[in-house]
Amino acid sequence: MFYLPEGVIYLDGNSLGPTPAAVAEKVRACITDEWGEMLITAWNRAGWMDKPRALGDRIGRLIGAEPGTVVLGDTLSIKVYQALAAALDLRPDRKVVLSDTGNFPTDLYMAEGLIRTLGRSHELRTVAPEEVEAAITPDIAVLMLTEVDYRTGRKHDMKRLIEKAHAAGALVVWDLAHSAGAIEVDLAGSDADFAVGCTYKYLNSGPGGPAFIYVAPRIAERVKPALSGWLGHEAPFAFDLGYRPGAGIERMRVGTPPILQMAALEASMDIWDRVDMADIRARSIELTEAFVKAVEATCPTLTLASPRDPEARGSQISFRHPEGYAIMQALIARGVIGDFRAPDILRFGFTPLYTTMEDVSHAATILGEIMRDNLWDRAEFKTRAKVT
């Protein structure tokens, strides 16, 4: 189903998913048969204009979204901005955005930038992840969280926090970057308001793949897009000079969709359409539990950074060590690819579509050898690259 180089154990699909085996042919056909032969008529003949909604529904099935509530396009940072701006607009009498210190930095950066642009005395308030529930007070406008912590894999209780936020009169924006395709998500059943996510991690759309946004149908017609792009207009090809929002989730479209990247995503979704997320989650827990057990048995100087309870974490395992960067580089040199997150975290992603129990055992064995013999303690492993 996926292309992986021979001899590589890939435990970094939580950062960039590998190439689906069918992606080259899918993109080739899009380039030659559609763009090449149809030229601009492919927007109609090949259905290019409808792909953001069609792919949105396919992703929606994986995250428990109602049909017609997810659309693709742009980047995750832009989708965070859209969702947060829309949520704040629906709570004009409140000024506080609550998040946690484990949130992915770009989400906090986008919140800071939006608050600065609005100039209406909003405040970004951050607390430790464990303190979020207690910090949901009646002055909160929006609770903005990443469900699965990108460093440790710690997982928030989505349904519980939504209930608490709604009881306090707040709306909630969820970042599903490390959830979609990794764990079971039930946006509709949890009464979610907004959710965003990327597709290049567990969903394997390739580097720079498009992001998605979800808006609950009960509020979709009241949302006023801050980024009112032409494809979010009610009638884009009427070319009106004034903006009229499209119906429902359509209004959250902004610019021209990345068709070639969406073709790559289609190749991956052809696989995901056959997958049950409950099965994925069950296998993920088996893999991560085995890895923790094996690493702790052979690497006593590594400290588990992820929650020990598998129900409290996503589909990744993280360990701490002061020389985490060098250790990860030594692993990569031995064909085990994970990644490093500052200041001291070795991060490993487990993706049941292509990660086997044999991979887990072999990776743990190699890590044990590196730690036992201090094979990481070499100058070339300590030189920081631009991307870690």
Catalytic sites, residue numbers: 104, 175, 200-201, 347
* Two tokens, residue 201: 């991690």
Interior CA angle at 208 toward 306 and 250, to 5°? Answer: 100
Q: How far apart are CA 114 and CA 125, in angstroms?
A: 14
Burial state string for 271-297 with b = 16 or more CB within 10 A and e = fewer than 16:
bbeeeebeebbebbbebbeebbebbee
What is the distance, to the nearest Å, from the Cα of residue 315 to the centroid of all Cα atoms in its chain?
Answer: 12
Residues β-bridged to residue 197: 212
Distance CA 77, CA 70 (A): 16
List of residues 6+ apart from 274 with CB closer than 8 A: none
Helix 357-372, helix 324-333: angle, nearest 10: 120
The two tokens of residue 84 are 């947060």
Considering only CA atoms, which of 137, 178, 125 is closest in space to residue 156?
178
Q: Mutual orientation of helices 76-89 and 105-118 as an angle, nearest 10°?
A: 50
DSSP code string of 63-102: TTPPTT-EEE-S-HHHHHHHHHHHHHHT-TT--EEEEETT
Number of helical (H) and strand (E) elements in the chain, helices listed first: 14, 15
Q: What are phi and psi of 189, to 5 degrees?
A: -65, -25
- Residue 99 in contact with residue 124, Cβ under 8 Å? yes
Amino acid letter, 340: F
Contacts of 78 (CB under 8 A, 6+ apart): 211, 227, 254
SS3 251: helix
User: Can you tell me the distance from the alpha carbon of 184 to that of 146, in angstroms, rounded to the nearest whole number?
Assistant: 15
